[in-house]
């Protein structure tokens, strides 16, 4: 990759403008081939993916020592940012300017930055951060002003559309840490920690530190370190739901909340719990198939209890439970400020199956 000072064309009129919004993985691949533009935007609130791109951008400079300036649009004006971009530095010719909360500027202020993008300083890399907190990752519509922005500068969307992309990113990060993960452990990790890279990599870092010089991450380790005693609490919640005891179910849910249980993780635990019940329910009458499911999920301590719960439900009720779980997932992503109310809605529906 060419150093910044030797790049003949780093303007936003280069190859990075072939599409409106750039996908995270595509942008990463293009960075391996093409130099980055002088001005680009990162759209999304996932801090892991954001830092991943910023770190890769830093490596495009010829020297590892880069002067980094950080601005918050809610606390500064475009003129202050432009002053830094258009003047030299006595400390370093390699500079990166990061503007957080770019969406806080009004249209006229954002336009000032876009005018700069028409003739940028080739020695400075300007990265604009645009938060998407509170928007549904499945159903959100890209704001009109952001679509127009993407016609003038590259806008990279900080999300992974496919589960395979997330799995590859996890394996790549673990390889950098000299770790490996068992396929079953990887599936369990995604089930318990959700699909947001930021949350997943927090959990992975915790597991990696626990492993020390050990290399292989197993399903048992994921269950122990991520779910821990919460599996027992979720099982108790499942027991109350199976008895259609709404008051006890809500009481247990509020207990989990008081223990700072992550709601996306709790949703993952509940989804896993009902999946186990569904598989056991479909195998009732066949001891061999039941034992296979029990081994698959390593239900050594809750064998009798899980079987008793599975017998309480009908197949159509368990299918309905998955509908409610899916609806709750969509609601949580589109209205995170209402997360507790949404979860209480879910608990109420599950208790009335």
Written as one string, the DSSP assignment of 4-25 is GGG-S--STTSGGGSSSEEEHH
Structural domains present in the chain: 4-157 (3.40.50.300), 163-227 (1.10.8.60), 230-351 (1.20.272.10)
Is 315 a residue whose pLDDT tops 70? Answer: yes
pLDDT the model gives residue 229? 56
Average pLDDT, the chain: 82
Residue 90: pLDDT over 60: no
Instruction: Give me the pLDDT at residue 300, please.
Output: 60
User: What strands, in cross-sheet order, belong to the sheet with 21-23?
Assistant: 21-23, 155-157, 39-43, 124-130, 95-100, 67-72
Residue 180 is predicted with a pLDDT of 92
Q: Pick left, alpha or beta for residue 234 (phi over 0 → left; psi -120 to 50 → alpha; otherwise beta).
A: alpha
Predicted confidence (pLDDT) per residue in 156-191, tens digit: 999 887 888 889 899 988 998 999 999 888 888 887
**Core vs surface per residue 113-146: b (16+ CB within 10 A) or e:** bbebbeebbebbbbbbbbbbeebebeeeebeeeb
Task: Answer whether residue 7 shows pLDDT above 50.
Answer: no
pLDDT tens digits, residue range 270-313? Answer: 888 899 899 999 999 888 898 888 877 767 666 888 888 888 88
Quick one: pLDDT at residue 281?
Answer: 92
pLDDT confidence of residue 60:
83
Tokens for 45, please give them.
Answer: 């609130």
Quick one: DSSP state of residue 153?
S
pLDDT confidence band for 13 (50 / 70 / 90): very low
Q: How far apart are CA 44 and CA 229, in angstroms?
A: 33
What confidence category does residue 88 fall into, taking pLDDT thresholds of 50, 70 and 90?
low
Average pLDDT over residues 328-347: 85
pTM, rounded to two decimals: 0.63
- The pLDDT of residue 3 is 36
Instruction: Count how many Cα atoms sit within 13 Å of the Cα of residue 193 in the half-sphere of its side chain.
Output: 27
Mean pLDDT of 230-257: 83
Nearest CA to 151 out of 121, 117, 122, 125 is that of 117
The span from the CA of 325 to the CA of 346, in Å, is 7
Share of the chain above pLDDT 90, in %: 26
């Amino acid at each position: 990759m060419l150093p910044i000072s030797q790049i003949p064309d780093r303007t936003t009129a280069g190859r990075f403008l072939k599409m409106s919004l750039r996908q995270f993985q595509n942008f990463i691949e293009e960075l391996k081939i093409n130099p980055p533009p002088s001005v680009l935007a990162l759209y999304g609130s996932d801090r892991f993916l954001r830092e991943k791109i910023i770190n890769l951008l830093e490596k495009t400079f010829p020297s590892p020592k880069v002067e980094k300036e950080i601005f918050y649009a809610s606390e500064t004006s475009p003129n202050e940012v432009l002053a830094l971009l258009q003047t030299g530095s006595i400390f370093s010719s390699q500079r990166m300017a990061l503007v957080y909360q770019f969406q806080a500027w009004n249209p006229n202020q954002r336009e000032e930055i876009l005018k700069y993008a028409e003739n940028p300083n080739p020695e400075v890399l300007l990265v604009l951060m645009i938060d998407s907190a509170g928007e549904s990752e499945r159903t959100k519509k890209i704001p009109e002003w952001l679509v127009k922005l993407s016609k003038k500068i590259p806008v990279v969307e900080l999300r992974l559309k496919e589960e395979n992309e997330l799995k590859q990113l996890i394996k790549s990060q673990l390889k950098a840490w000299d770790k490996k993960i068992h396929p079953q452990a990887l599936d369990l990790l995604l089930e318990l920690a959700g699909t947001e890279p930021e949350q997943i990599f927090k959990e992975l870092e915790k597991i990696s530190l626990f492993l020390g010089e050990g290399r292989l991450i197993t399903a048992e380790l994921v269950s122990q370190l991520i779910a821990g005693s919460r599996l027992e609490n979720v099982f108790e919640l499942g027991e109350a739901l199976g008895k259609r005891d709404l008051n006890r179910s809500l009481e247990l849910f509020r207990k989990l909340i008081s223990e700072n249980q992550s709601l996306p993780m709790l949703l993952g635990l509940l989804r896993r719990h009902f999946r186990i019940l569904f598989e056991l329910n479909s195998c009732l009458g066949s001891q061999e198939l039941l034992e296979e499911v029990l081994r698959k999920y390593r239900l050594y301590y809750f064998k009798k209890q899980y079987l008793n719960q599975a017998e309480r439900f009908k197949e159509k009720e368990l299918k309905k439970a998955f509908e409610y779980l899916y609806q709750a997932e969509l609601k949580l992503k589109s209205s995170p400020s209402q997360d507790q109310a949404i979860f209480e809605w879910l608990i109420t529906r599950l208790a009335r199956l």
